[in-house]
Amino acid sequence: MEINQAGLDLIKSFEGCKLTAYQDQRGVWTIGYGHTGSDVCAGLTIDEETAEQLLKEDLHSAESTVSWLVKVPLNPNQFSALVSLCYNIGSGNFRTSTLLQCVNESKDPTQEFLKWNHTNGIVNLGLARRRQAEVELYNS
């Protein structure tokens, strides 16, 4: 399964596209649509095409993680909402989350989505809005 257009649009709207590397709120070097890694450093610049390619590669990893870890059937919007969350919080956090446990137990994960709204222990309004958008996508 692959992320659908609604999920892709959600990620792009919350990540934004920055063509020059910057440090995010946690101090992690980031570029494009939220791409991080050892290839990102101060002074790095890319073009829009490269940003799209990095996003596609990064989303493939999140899609694979969600496909591998979720043991119940999902509709395309549920899958895409989970991919958005996984892309944002990382595969390791997703793998050990109570949200994943709720999904696999066919329980409503709404409250679990909403818990992932902190940066350095402080509620981040942007993350709170993103989590609400993911919940809306998941439930649609």
CB 84 within 8 A of CB 77: no
Q: How far apart are the first and last CA of the chain?
A: 17
What order do you get walking across the sheet with 35-36 strand by strand? 18-23, 29-32, 35-36
Run of H or E including 22: strand 18-23
Contacts of 6 (CB under 8 A, 6+ apart): 77, 80, 137, 140
Q: Any catalytic annotation for residue 63? A: no
The catalytically annotated residue of 15, 63, 112, 134 is: 15
Run of H or E including 36: strand 35-36
Supply the residues annotated as catalytic. Answer: 15
